[in-house]
Amino acid sequence: MAAGRRDKSSQSSIRGSRIAAAIGIGVLVGCVFAFLFPHGFFSSNPSTEIRSLSKSNFEVDTTSCESTEKINLLKSDIMKLSDKNVELKRQVRELNEKLRLAEQGKDHAREQFMMLSEPRKAGPFGTVKGLRTNPTVAPDESVNPRLAKILAEVAVRRELIVAVANSNVKSMLELWFTNIKRVGIPNYLVVALDDGILDFCKSNDVPVYQRDPDETVDSVGKRGGNHAVSGLKFQILREFLQLGYSVLLSDVDIVFLQNPFDHLYRDSDVESMSDGHNNMTAYGYNDVFDEPAMGWARYAHTMRIWVYNSGFFYIRPTIPSIELLDRIAGRLAREEKSWDQAVFNEELFFPSHPGYEGLHASKRTMDFYLFMNSKVLFKTVRKDANLKKVKPVIVHLNYHPDKFSRMKAVVDFYVNGKQDALEPFPDGSG
């Protein structure tokens, strides 16, 4: 019995030791987990979550504000870059155009040089002829796509009549296009220098074009007188030539009686009416200058021709023609008191000489009885029974200040058949 109790006591002691060891191990494992996972094995600290969530919300709000500011800044930068891009495109276009014109001029010069330098036999007497015309430029619609579209609709065989006008000449402009319509000329265009003329032309079904805003041109175009507006046309016409169109430039103090395109030669860079009043003055003559003090050499022979009228001329799209426009526009910009017609003629006629390179442009003088100035009409034609029977192509009232009344008289005489319509007016402006 005693032995059995000892065995049972020994077994109980061993079981107790095992339980104690298990408890110890459990406590030890718990301490290890407590150290490694202070916020629990499966759950996180609530306060940390709250702080993280608050921080996250704050960051979202801050990011949202920062994003709005960044978007506004980006929009501003994009607008600035867009404006800069437009300006750069314009500069690139201008540089490309200058390069293209320079290349064309160089190529044309090379062609002429090759033609002139190539050994050729002269041929029989009287059969030799030099170059008469310059080649036209390659059309470049990128210069002004809007104008290119208008010209494609208005021009006939890539040529048209162009007038530049502001509201100061509204009455004369109406008489101008009324007679163009009466003759049946379809290819004409008014370049409007102000909104009044733009609306006026549209209301009268007249082809019209208004340039993009240009502070320098617009200030003159809207408020300038006849001479100031006349000077603008050389600058405005350049784009027409660059687009490959021939232009018959017309002032508005002109009455059209026939279609002028039926009477052009088209064999020169510039074909212009003359301010001359007879064969000598219009087409040139040998004018002898007398200086008695020189004795034996008292007589000096000079060549003279009366000026071309810058209010009516036909100009072809060639390199010399564009150079002419550039020269005139440049001088008028630099020389405030210059008269556009004087500059027009000086650039056309002055030859090359030391310190100056003349313009290599071909030119033709129009028949002064067909393309008639008002001096020819009132001083000569109306007093000659035979000349009165000749119907001119146009009459330009350039010599007289009472333009509108004389324009109406021209219409009465040549269109309405009133034989005495021209009689009330004096020869000159007295």
pLDDT tens digits, 392-411: 999 999 999 999 999 999 99
pLDDT at 98 over 50: yes
Structure tokens at 190: 């008014």
**CATH architecture of the domain covering 141-277+312-369:** Alpha-Beta Complex (3.90)
Collect all residues with Cβ–Cβ distance below 8 Å to 418 and sequence separation of at least 6. 412
- Collapse the DSSP code of 303 into the 3-class scheme (helix H, G, I; strand E, B; otherwise coil) and give the result: strand
pLDDT at 79 over 80: yes
pLDDT tens digits, 216-260: 665 555 555 555 667 789 999 999 999 999 999 999 999 999 999
Average pLDDT, the chain: 85
* pLDDT band, residue 291 (cuts 50/70/90): very high
Collect all residues with Cβ–Cβ distance below 8 Å to 191 and sequence separation of at least 6. 162, 163, 164, 165, 208, 209, 210, 211, 233, 236
What pTM was computed for the model?
A: 0.72
Identify the bridge partners of residue 257 per DSSP, sorted by sequence position: none
Residues 11-17 have a mean pLDDT of: 55
Contact 230, 311 (CB under 8 A): yes
Please tell me which residue, 129 or 345, carries the higher pLDDT value: 345
Q: DSSP secondary structure string, 330-374?
A: HHHHH-TT--HHHHHHHHHHPPPBTTB------EEEPPTTTEEEH
Residue 14: the pLDDT is 58
DSSP 213: P
* pLDDT band, residue 40 (cuts 50/70/90): low
pLDDT tens digits, 194-210: 999 999 999 999 999 99
* pLDDT band, residue 37 (cuts 50/70/90): low
Q: Which of 246, 234, 231, 256 is nearest to 372 (CA)?
A: 256
pLDDT at 192 over 60: yes
Residues 124-145 have a mean pLDDT of: 90
pLDDT at 46 over 50: no
pLDDT at 163 over 80: yes
Length of the chain: 430
- What residues does each domain of the chain span? 141-277+312-369
Residue 58: the pLDDT is 42
Weakest-pLDDT range from 97-111, 147-161, 318-332: 97-111
